[in-house]
Structure 1
Amino acid sequence: MLSRRQLLGSAAAALAVSAASVQAKQKTPLPKSAVSASRRVLIQSSSRYHTSGYLDFAGDQYERLFGTEKHEILFIPYARVAGSFDGYEKQVQDAFKPFGHKIVSIHRFKNAQEAVKKAEAIAVGGGNTWALVTRMYEAGIIDLIRDRVNAGLPYCGWSAGGNVACPTLRTTNDMPIAEPPSFNTFGFIPFQTNPHFISGGTAGLNNETREDRLEEFLCYNKDEEVIGLPEGTALLLTGEHDIEVLGPKDSEPLYWFRQGKDKMQLQRIALGTKFDARQIVPGGKI
């Protein structure tokens, strides 16, 4: 007969094996949507770069997105939690005014879905990604924005607004203060990104690093890889698969976190690199 200590040891070993063999459950696939060759999506890590003002460093990025056209841009402020939508709209209006674009927030419209249907361009601001996604589902605009942008409507999003360009919100840095009906977001790109990426921990604190968190993500999701976007950097998606890395001249290379045989591997992607979005998969090369 086994002793109590032996029984406890056997149970602990069984639990360890179970935890090691767990696999991510099947994710609900995004609905299929036709993609126009004129699609243009700007996925920005952040609204500031070093000591810059709010978005004032990103003029070149917006010029690449919009060209010479000036738009009335529908702004989605739903990621703002500690503050008003009115104040957020004013902040973004002031930031885009030097670039020649007009900003109107979606909260000004009685019907959010009609506002999306009539928009000339869409901008989604940063804040809490969980609140953003929950509110977009509540407004019934997730599928509408996906379809309009895939058909060629210009889109830009920074921080949380960039994170939702991925298939899901699972690589956000934010606390889950709200519960959306699904983790699925727009899926303009087929891989996940991590905005505001900073390598290493905080001096004097024994906290887990961003690398630690992403390694857990990759360990649990064996078919996925993640690109970390340092402050100021961005991905410009054109058409169905073409991506270019943008950012200030002194910005960091991107961090490509890769599936490894025994542990996570890291590859850097330099500013100016152009690649096919379908290459960001296990075993892919750019």
Structure 2
Amino acid sequence: MNLLLLSNSRSPDGGYLDHAVELVRELAGARTKALFLPFAGVTTTWDEYTDKVRQALAPAGLTVTGAHTVKAGDLDAFELVIVGGGNTFQLLQQARQRGWLQAIRRAAFAGLPYMGWSAGSNLACPTICTTNDMPIVDPGGFDALGLIDVQINPHYTNALPVGHQGETRDQRLAEFMALRPEVKIVALPEGDWLRVRGKQISLDGPFPARLLQGGKEPVELATPAQLPA
């Protein structure tokens, strides 16, 4: 397994994937032919989304092809899979309907490098149930790629605006854990990422993350760190 799972796409100064270029270069190695799944894009066209990622990752030496322009049976022509953020429910729906879900799962378990951010990181989890997104479409089930055995909650923050009376993120995650105590969740602040090599999952980035496990108090993980098995 060779995965790079980012919490988000933008650096604090607003630069698009700036913080990911060196990480992608390390992930890809000598590989250059990348397949990009733009299906999480809702308020942009998939051509526009693909072009945006193509330009952002050009410094890493990648040539990027949109998955909406080829068929799942063509996956063997690519050396790296990239999955962008946006709406996780539409991403899963389209990936499933177009045959990419099964094809990518099989290839990733065989060693094909995989990079995702936000919704793209959620897709690598057992399910998409820890996404922050609205269910704007029916994805045909919540099961995702299952490339790792933990759930990711991207864009993690427990900040609450003054006067806001809704639940905090920690409260939402506690609700999830109350009903799914067997699940392990890594809450990733923006700027952080998980790097998966084989069965080892390492955490890195500028901020501490949180690890939630059923029956235990949440644990703050300073970076860098190895996730416990």
Counterpart selection for 2:115 from 150, 153, 156: 156
**CA RMSD, Structure 1 to Structure 2 (Å):** 1.3
Paired residues for 1:1-286 under 5 Å: 39-67=1-29, 69-109=30-70, 112-239=71-198, 241-247=199-205, 251-260=206-215, 265-276=217-228, 279=229
Q: CA deviation at 1:90?
A: 0.9
Amino acid of the residue matched to residue 83 of structure 1?
Answer: T
What CA distance in whole angstroms lies between the structure 2 residues aligned with 1:275 and 1:255? 11
Q: Could you say what secondary structure the match of 1:73 adopts?
A: strand
Q: CA deviation at 1:88?
A: 0.3
Asked if structure 2 preserves the Cα contact closer than 8 Å seen for 1:256 and 1:266, the reply is: yes
Q: CA deviation at 1:217?
A: 0.3
Identity of aligned residues (%): 36
Asked if structure 2 preserves the Cα contact closer than 8 Å seen for 1:106 and 1:115, the reply is: no
What CA distance in whole angstroms lies between the structure 2 residues aligned with 1:203 and 1:95? 36
Map Cα deviations across residues 15-56 of structure 1 (whole Å, 9 max, x no partner): xxxxxxxxxxxxxxxxxxxxxxxx201111000121141001
Question: Residues 200, 258 of structure 1: CA spacing in aligned structure 2 closer, same or farther, 3 A cutoff?
Answer: farther
What CA distance in whole angstroms lies between the structure 2 residues aligned with 1:259 and 1:200? 23
Question: TM-score, normalising length from structure 2?
Answer: 0.95
> 5+ unaligned residues in a row in structure 2: which ranges?
none
Q: CA deviation at 1:200?
A: 2.9
Q: Could you say what secondary structure the match of 2:112 adopts?
A: coil
Asked if structure 2 preserves the Cα contact closer than 8 Å seen for 1:200 and 1:211, the reply is: no
> 5+ unaligned residues in a row in structure 1: which ranges?
1-38, 280-286
Figure out how many residues of one structure are paired with residues of the other and give that number. Answer: 229
Q: CA deviation at 1:80?
A: 0.3
Q: CA deviation at 1:184?
A: 0.6
Question: TM-score, normalising length from structure 1?
Answer: 0.77
Q: CA deviation at 1:120?
A: 1.3
